[in-house]
Each structure stands twice: as structure tokens, then as C-alpha cells.
Amino acid sequence: MSVEAPSILSTQSPARPSSNAAVIRIENLVVEYPGRGIGQRATTAVKDLNLEVYQGEVFGFLGPNGAGKTSTMQVLLGFQPPTRGAASIFGVDVRQPIARQRIGYLPEMTYYYKFLTSEELLRFYGRIFRIPRPELEVRIDSALKLVELEEARKRLIRTYSKGMQQRIGLAQALINNPDLLILDEPTSGLDPLGRMKVREIIQRLRSEGKTVLFSSHELGEVETVCDRIAIIHRGELQVLGRVADLVEEHQMDLERIFLKIIGYGMNHQREQRA
């Protein structure tokens, strides 16, 4: 049964930070996946998405599973071309590899080369960014210190726990000192201490003027760290605005706003009536 999700696209114009340079610009983005079988229709993952993320803000990109978040991120990272529309990072078309020079990306649940040690892994990624050797060694030291993996730096990644792998993922995302960090479920699989650490790192990056785009299902966390959020559902942008403004406007916490937008309340009521 399809339920019409109430569109509560924020009525106010989304507040933006004082530094108004758009780091990410998405214009009329459409992402379609061709049908796998003969006669099968193409699936539209993202429909006419327009979005801007400004310099120095922590932006939460939310939506239920299958909403189109990952497809949007894949376009931003150049993993797949947009079907229609355009996306740019720092004014460079995302299809150009150079657009990724100033990005740090932490994928959800990724395993790194298990036959490498963490410092070898960071050295490898550092070489891709062509960071000079002496500077790279300094950055490796500080990244490993930041994610508290200094003692395990000479151990093969195959011996790491899940939390340690997530932390080395964060370190590799920071090795090029990125101006934009894209984090896909950064706290997934982490214990409370690990989550707190990730939150601290995000806040620290914000204080350094970095831009962070992150997707998460942990709405409490989003409420704590994000300046602005976008909620996407069935490929369409439903809400875009400041967290504080949305909470005030709807007189409910972010979790309830989220559930309302994805039509959970209506679904639930219909089920109860039935």
C-alpha cells in the first residue's frame, strides 16, 4: 500500500552559514538504474534533487534505506555518472577526478588491504595525493594519534577489530587534510566510546572550518553535530533546513520529524485501524 508522505519541505529559506561558498552543488540530479531483465523498467533512485552544502557546515544527509542517499553520494564521489542533472564539488564537475583532490571519504563498513599495516595503508593513500614524504610521515603520525591507533601502527590490518578498522578508515579519510569530508554511516559498528570519538572529530573539523557531509541513521547524533540536514525519501528531497529551525517549526524532536516525513505515523495508524 503506498502512503503519500507529507511533503514538509521547509517553508523558510534554509539558513546558511555566513561563509556562503557552496562546496557541494547538486542541480536537478536524476539517478536511474536500468531494469535488469527484458522489459523491466528503470528504477529511479534520485528524482530532480537540488542541494547545496556550504563551506564550514556539518550537513546531515538523512533518509530511510533505499531513499537515494547512497546513489547521491555515489554520484558525488564519481562512482557513477548522473543520469541527468549535474553535481559539482568546489566548482568542479564530479566526473573529473581532480574534484576528489580535496575530499576525504569514509565508506560504511569497508575493509582495507588486510595485508598492509595501518601506516603502510596511510602511506599508500598519501602517495596518491602526492604528499611529500617528510610531510606525509608527519600526517601519518598525527592521523594515527587522532584515531588512537599509534600502538597498532605496525600490525597488519587483518588483526584489527571492527572498531579499529573503522578508525583506520577515518584516518585514511583525513590523510590529505581534506576541506570536505563525506562520511557514510561513520559510527556504524562502533561502541559508544568510538561514537563519541567520531563526534569529537567531526566537531573538531567544523571548528577548523572544514565541511562535513554525513549520512546516518543515528538521529540523536545528527541532532547533536549537524548544522543543517536534508531528509530524502523515495529519491525526493522532503526537508532541508537548520536542525534547530525544524525542531522549532514542527514542535517535535528530529526523530519524530523524520518518522512523520517518511510516513511512518500514517502507516502505523492505518495498520492499527485495520
Partner 1 sequence: MNRIRASISTIWAVSGIVIKELYRRKDFYVLFVVTAVITLMMASVNFFHEGKIVRYLKDICLLLIWISALVIAIATTARQLPAERESRTIFPLLAKPVTRGQVVVGKFLGCWLACGIALVVFYVFFGVICLAKQDHIGFWQYFQAIWLQWGMLAIVIGMVLLGSVVFSAPSANATICFVAVVSILILGSHLHKIAITEPEPLSVLLSSLYFLIPHLEWFYAVRDRLVFDQNLIPWVDCLLATLYAAAYVAIFLCGTWMLFRRRVLTT
Please return the burial class of 115, using the count of CB atoms within 10 Å of its CB with bins 0-12, 13-18 and 19+. exposed
d(CA 259, CA 130): 45
Using CB under 8 A as the criterion, what x/- string covers residues 57-96 for binding partner 1? Answer: -------------x--xx--xxxx----------------
State yes or no: residue 173 binds partner 1 (CB under 8 A). yes
Nearest Cα residue to 56 out of 245, 246, 227, 231: 227
Nearest Cα residue to 65 out of 222, 170, 192, 184: 184
Using CB under 8 A as the criterion, what x/- string covers residues 126-165 for binding partner 1? Answer: -xxxx-----------------------------------
Q: Which stretch binds partner 1 (CB under 8 A): 12-20, 106-114, 196-204, 258-266?
A: 106-114
* Sheet (strand 180-184) strand order: 103-106, 180-184, 211-215, 58-62, 228-233, 236-242
Of residues 183 and 240, the one with the C-beta less far from partner 1: 183
Nearest Cα residue to 182 out of 228, 218, 213: 213
d(CA 13, CA 3): 27
Of residues 77 and 257, the one with the C-beta less far from partner 1: 77
Q: Return the residue of 54, 105, 160, 214 that touches partner 1, per CB under 8 A.
A: 105
And the C-alpha cell for 82?
Answer: 548522473
Of residues 33 and 270, the one with the C-beta less far from partner 1: 33
Q: What is the DSSP letter of 156?
A: B
Using CB under 8 A as the criterion, what x/- string covers residues 25-64 for binding partner 1? Answer: --------x-------------------------------
Of residues 128 and 193, the one with the C-beta less far from partner 1: 128
Residues lying near partner 1 in the complex (CB under 8 A): 33, 70, 73-74, 77-80, 97-98, 100-101, 103, 105-116, 120, 124-125, 127-130, 169, 172-173, 176, 182, 184
